[in-house]
Structure 1
Amino acid sequence: MISFNDLNGYRVDLSFEKGNFSIVPQHVLILAQKNHKWLLTNHPKRGIEFPGGKKEVYETIEEAAIRETLEETNVAVYRLEWFAEYVVHDVKPFCKAVFIAEVKDIHTEAVQYETDGAVWLTSKELKSCPNLSFHMKDKGMEVILKKVMIYEERWND
């Protein structure tokens, strides 16, 4: 387990072992690539970040990951694979599940609900992007990205 303080000053505990926390994940973060580019979204207030959000009462955490990605990027993902989870010790602590997913379909005529749509960046472009959300700048994301790089070959075959 890795612990650090995020950019808001909250302690975050990150684990690459499933079920390591007593808090059940109700939030999701999705990492997907196509053609050597990461799927991100442009949040109008926060900037460039991976798609994600909150689980609805009626859905599984995997269904939430699929829905949130589609809503924020117009990209349908499938073959979700649990990758990590972390707890943010906010005023009301919460747990977020991190999934790796494959891109199934890119919808060109769908409607964005919460963001300005999909942004596709190479790993190099991602590292130098000046418009990253604060979520993308903390120690946890650095560790997640280093670990997920081993999956790049699988995505890009």
Structure 2
Amino acid sequence: MFTFIDENGCKVELSFKENQFSIQPTHVLVLVKYKEKWLCAINKKRGVEFPGGKLEHGETLEQAAIREVYEETSVHISDLKWFAEYLVHGENPFCKTVFTGKVERIDPFVEEHETIGMVWLSNEELLNHPNLSFYMRDEGMKKILQEVKQHERQW
């Protein structure tokens, strides 16, 4: 278990083992790498970040992940794999599941209500982008990216 405090002052617990938290996940985050670059959405309010969001009524985590990636980036993904989970202890605690996925098809981008575009970033660009979302800069994301690097050959 990896624990840190996020930029909002909330305690966050990150686990790379399934079912470590008593709160069921209601959010998803998806890591997609294609041609050595990471898929990121450009959120109108938060900046550049990995795609993700909340489950809608009746959805599975996997369905939500596929839908959110498409809505935010116009990229179709498949081959989802569970990667991690984290629990944010705030006023309204929530749990988020992190998946990895593979690109199936890339459609022309259509602006949605939350995003104004998408971008593909190399490892270096991802670490140094000037407009990263708050959660993309925290210690948890650094830990996730370290773990991803160790497992990338499996993708």
TM-score normalised per structure 1: 0.94
The alpha carbon displacement at 1:117 in A equals: 2.1
Figure out how many residues of one structure are paired with residues of the other and give that number: 155
Distance (whole Å) between structure 2 residues aligned to residue 116 and residue 152 of structure 1: 29
Secondary structure at 1:53 match in 2: strand
Q: CA RMSD in A?
A: 1.2
Name 1:5's counterpart in structure 2.
Answer: 5
Distance (whole Å) between structure 1 residues aligned to residue 151 and residue 33 of structure 2: 9
Name 1:36's counterpart in structure 2.
Answer: 36
Distance (whole Å) between structure 1 residues aligned to residue 147 and residue 126 of structure 2: 15
Secondary structure at 1:112 match in 2: coil
Secondary structure at 2:125 match in 1: helix
Contact (CA 8 Å) 2:51, 2:73: kept in 1 or not? yes
Identity among equivalent positions (%) equals: 52
The alpha carbon displacement at 1:153 in A equals: 4.0
Q: Does 1:88 align with 2:88?
A: yes
Name 1:54's counterpart in structure 2.
Answer: 54
Deviations 1:114-156 (A, max 9, x none): 201211000011111111010101110000001001343454x
Q: Does 1:73 align with 2:83?
A: no
Distance (whole Å) between structure 2 residues aligned to residue 111 and residue 138 of structure 1: 27
One-letter code aligned to 1:42? I
Contact (CA 8 Å) 2:109, 2:117: kept in 1 or not? no
Deviations 1:78-104 (A, max 9, x none): 000000000000101000000000011
One-letter code aligned to 1:11? K
Distance (whole Å) between structure 1 residues aligned to residue 104 and residue 151 of structure 2: 17
Secondary structure at 1:118 match in 2: strand
One-letter code aligned to 1:120? W
One-letter code aligned to 1:108? P
- Consecutive unaligned residues in structure 1, runs of 5 or more: none
Distance (whole Å) between structure 2 residues aligned to residue 121 and residue 113 of structure 1: 22
- Consecutive unaligned residues in structure 2, runs of 5 or more: none
